[in-house]
Each structure stands twice: as structure tokens, then as C-alpha cells.
A and B are shown apart, each in its own frame.
Chain A
Amino acid sequence: MSLWRLAWRRFLRDRVGLVSLVIVIAFVALACASAAGWVARDWGEEAGVSYAPPRFLGLQVEEAAAQGAATLRPQETYGIADPLAEELAEIQKDLLGLSGTASRAGTLVFGGDKWGRDVVKKAIKGTETSLVVGLAAAALAAFLGTLFGAAAGYYGRWVDDFFNWLYSVFTSIPYLLLVLAVAAVLNQKGTATVILILGLTGWTGIFRLIRAEYLKHKVREYVLAADAIGASDARRMFAHILPNVSHVVLVQLSLHVVLFIKSEVILSFLGFGVGVDTVSWGSMLAEAPSELILGMWWQIAAATLAMALAVTAFSLFTDSVRDALDPRLQ
């Protein structure tokens, strides 16, 4: 029986792993559906009033908001007619959802943001962005790490020296500082930029592990046998050894997805991440400080819930995969 089938059997016995796998699949499906435009396509539509409260809180919050707005009205005019009075009144009416121009809902399922966009739809769209960034950056980092690690471990000598030097250079700068420095240099926002930044700076951990595996494997009998029947270096590296270390790559890939999702949130929050026309959990959190002061907690709650669920599921899934692939570790 192959390693993968054995691992799958062990995995099936792990209930925590199975539940987290289901949640991870659900998140990926949600992200795919969102990318295909089946759900949350109209996330940018201003469906509700500004800061529309969640539906389950009902109208009491709305009334409180109305009172809050009413107390704002009286103002000393010094006998001069306010030239903006009409517009202000219009804006105020608009804010309270009384404006006749748009039929905006007073409440939304889980509340709305400053522009009255549905928070749930934003969270779904944010899931898509964050997962795409996490998966793509992890794939890039795993590719680079595997390639470098394979070359360093297999060829040894000056190739090894060179990549070890590169590794020590990259690891002597704290990860977040390196990411920020690259972000400062590139100075352009966008999902692709974030993926590049995270992928190009995050390959070091994978490199070290893969290099160690290749050092171990290249002197094994099966590799020597492959050498004896005349397999080329590249064939030995990638057709013979790589399948035997692929479980390490898989576990690391999954670990790095979590790391990169968290980093993307921080980058986007600081404004160095995804563009302004894209929504991610980080950009949702970035709107939270000013909302919290006004007592609007639903957007930060939605982003936090979505992120905590996805990241917890991914972490537990990683643990289970590792246990299933390497039963000696407990």
C-alpha cells in the first residue's frame, strides 16, 4: 500500500482532522464560488444605509442613531444663513436612510459599512482575496524553497555554500521588516504584488527542511541504483527523490498558507497590500478603528470570525496531515 493511501487511512481516523478538512474545503469552495461570481458579486453595491446595523439588533439601534444625529443638528448660526444647510440636510436624511432617491434597507443581515455595503458579502469577497493570496504565495514559496533546497542538498559544495549564504542573508532580517522593505521598494498595491512579496521572502523555512531531506536521501541505495542505470541528475532529483520528500513539502505548504494569510492581513491593514478596489480581511479591519469608536462592531466581528475560523481549520488540518504522514512524531 502506498504512503499516501496509508496516510489517508490514518487521516480518516482523526476526527479533528476530518472536521477541519471539511471546513477548509468549504472555505475553498466559497472562494471559488466568489471568484466565479456566483456569490457576493455585488459586494460593492451600497445596499443599506450607512453603518446599517445587523438585522437581529433591529430598530432600537437605528433609533439611537437617529437620536445621535438629532443632537448634532442645533448649531449656533450667528445670524448668518448656512450656505450648506440644504446639502447638509440632504446628507443627514441620506445618512438616516430617509432619502427618497435610493431605496436603501435600514438593516442588513450582519450590518453594513460606512457606504452601506453588506458586511457578509465583503467578508466572502475578503475570503476569496485572502485565500488566493495565501495559496498562491505559499505555492511560490514552496516552489522556490524546494528548487533551492534540492539544488543545495543534491549538488553540495559551492552550490550548497551559495544557497546557505542566501539563506543566512534572508533570515538575518526579521520577516516582517523584510516584507515591509520590499513593499516600500515596489511601491505599488495589488494582489499580485502581495503574492510576489510574500512568496519571494518566505521560502527560507522550506529551503532548510528540503535541503536536509536531500542530504539524507542522496546517499540512499535507490538513488545510487538510479545513478547506476544512468538516470540524469535532474531525473534523480525530481523523479526519484522528490516523491519521497513530497510529504514535507505538503506540510510546509499548508503551514505557510496560514502564515501568509496572516501577513496579508497585516500588509493590507497598513495599506501596503491589496488595492483599494479589492476587499480583504485586512482592509476590512483597517476600517474598524473609526467604527469601533462609533460603537459599530459588526465589521470587525465579521472579519475576525471569518479569519479565525479559516486559520484555525487550516492549522488543525496541517497538524492532522503531519500526524498522518509521519506517525513517529506525536
Chain B
Amino acid sequence: MPTLLGVVLLVFFLFNWVGGDPAYILAGKIANPESIENIRRSLGVDQPYWVQLWIFIQQVAVADFGASWSTNERVSQIFATRLGPSLTVLLPLLVVSTILALAAAMLVAYYRGSLTDRAIMIGCTVGQSVSILVYILVLQYLLAYQLGWFPVQGWGSTFADNLLVYAALPILVGVVVSLAPDIRLYRSFFLEEMGQDYVRTARAKGLGEGRVMGLHVLRNAAIPIVTNVMTQVPGLLAGAFLIERFFSIPGIGREVILAVERSDFPVIKAVTVYVAIATMVINLAADLLYRMLDPRVQLK
């Protein structure tokens, strides 16, 4: 709760104080003092700061951020229609990339120090250093534009169409981008566990390597992995900006970029507050999940 209040204060401070007078943005280039005065009154900007803050807190409390400044669409309406496409891309992306990264990291950790391990680690370092923009541009150009395996961009009307045709390439790009840092991270988690005594014990009592790695080590490395996956979720919700923008997916990320370009403050405010709330909920869910994975974890 205090964190949420802090987020509200931060957003308010940014947009109402630093952001300057929104009337000048809204009124456009040819503004006469009269229309500016009207806009100011309708937005409540002519009120003192504490009244404005109270208005904003009320907006957050009833989840009504008013209408977008540029399209006049209700902000709640924008969210309702944009969430679906975002999730269509992001959930498969999260699942596929986590499974692939776990498998690769386990393999690399098992053969640590070998040539394969070092080659993959160097590959990951180099791969991580290339901007996500380059991956998007090159993959879109090669696979969609040149080879024609995927549509270059766009979005369909049915769910199956979206998931299998339009979301395929964005998901692929997302997986390629997130693989390198994930493999590096998960490898270090596995390596930490593989040095423990219980691994030696499991081997000593004759368990197969597959069972030792897949069951014993994986379960013990699960907590940091779950933490990492969970912390990625809120970032993904808004963080697929670039992917959504390039592939013209009508999701939340693209909406944020459009809003920033048009100085559409209500939309940005709403996204920031909602995503912050989502982050807190997810953190709570992660704590509960720890308890399921490891009953020794005590919740305070």
C-alpha cells in the first residue's frame, strides 16, 4: 500500500509538476488564451496541487482515468481491447523461452568448462550485446520480407489466426532475444546447486544423471528461477513495446509508444499505475509460490 501511494505520488509529480501545463499541449499550435483557459478548467489544472492530487487519487481508486487526449477513447476501453493481443504474444513467449532456456542452461551447466560450454557462453555474451532492435529488424527482413514464411506485420480477427500466423514471428524474435541472458543466469543457478552435497549423495546411491539433474537439481534451483520469471512478467506486459510496434500488434506496448509520441498523458499514467499494481500482485504470487516449492520458506 505505501508503495502504491508512492507510485501515485511519483506519477503525479512527473505529470502534473515536471510535465508542465497540459493545456498548451492540448490546444495545439494555434492557441488563444480563451481555449487554453477552458481546457485548464475542464482538466482541473487551475486548481491547487493538493486538489489535483486528490482528483488523481480518486481516479486511481475507481480505475477511471478519463478519456485519451488524442483519440478521446476511454482509457478503460483502450485497456480492455489492447490486453488480449498483448497476452496472445507474451504468454507463449514466456513459456517457450523459459523452457528452452532451462533446457539449454542445464545442458551447459552439466558440461561446464567444456568447449561447448565456453562456446555457448561467449555466444551468449556477444548475442546479448547486439541491440534487440537489430534482431527485430534482421529477422523481420529475412524471414518475413525475403523468405515470406511469416506475414511482415499485422493482426487478424480470430484467436487461432492471431496465435499461429501473426504472433509466430514476434514470439520467435522474443525467444531469440531473451535466450542469451536467461541461459547465462540459469546456468549460474544450476552451477550453484550442482556443487551441493545432496547431488553427490544422489549420485552415490546410484541415481541416473537425468534424474539427478532433472529432479533434484531442478527443484532446488526452482526458487531463483521462479523469481526471475516472475520479475520478467510485468516488464513483458509493457516491455514488448518494440516487438508490438514493429509487427503492428495492437497491444499495450504499442499503445504506450503512441501515447508517448502524442503526449497522451492519461494513457501513460494509467499504464504506469496498472503495471505497478500488477508488479505488486505478481510479487505476492511469487512469495506464495515459493512456499509451495519449498515449505521451509517462512512468509513474514
Interface residues of A (CB under 8 A from B): 165-166, 168-170, 172-178, 180-187, 258, 262, 265-266, 269-272, 281-282, 285, 288-289, 292-293, 300, 304, 307-308, 310-312, 315-316
Contacts and interface: CB of A to CB of B under 8 A. Distances in A.
Nearest to A173: B276
A311 B7 contact: no
Given A180-B241, A180-B260, A185-B15, A166 B6 contact: yes
Contacts, number: 119
Contact of A307 (B3, B129, B268): B129
A312 B242 CA distance: 22
Contact of A304 (B128, B131, B239): B131
B260 A172 contact: no
Contacts of B132: 266
Contacts of A185: 14-15, 18-19
Closest 5 A/B residue pairs (Cβ): A311-B129, A169-B6, A184-B260, A174-B235, A312-B129
A176 B241 contact: yes
- How many residues of B sit at the interface, in one of the four size bands? 35 or more
Interface string B111-148: 00000000000000110111111100110010001000
Interface of B: 2-3, 6-7, 9-11, 14-15, 18-19, 25, 125-126, 128-134, 137-138, 141, 145, 234-235, 237-239, 241-242, 256-257, 259-261, 263, 265, 268, 271-272, 275-276, 279-280
B235 A176 contact: yes
Contacts of B141: 292-293
B235 A300 contact: no
A260 to B, nearest CB: 13
A177 B256 contact: yes
A119 B39 CA distance: 47
B7 A173 contact: yes
A180 B128 CA distance: 22
9 contacts: A166-B6, A174-B239, A175-B235, A176-B235, A176-B238, A177-B272, A181-B268, A266-B131, A292-B137
A interface, over-half SS: helix
A307 B257 contact: no
A22 to B, nearest CB: 17
Contacts of B2: 165
Given A174-B279, A285-B134, A312-B129, A184 B7 contact: no
B139 to A, nearest CB: 11
B187 to A, nearest CB: 13
A268 to B, nearest CB: 10
Nearest to A305: B130
B134 A300 contact: yes
B256 A180 contact: yes
Contacts of A183: 260
Given A166-B6, A270-B257, A308 B275 contact: no
A294 B18 CA distance: 42
A328 B268 CA distance: 45
A265 to B, nearest CB: 5
Contacts of A170: 10
A300 B238 contact: no
A181 B129 contact: no
Contacts of B272: 173, 177-178, 181
Nearest to A303: B134
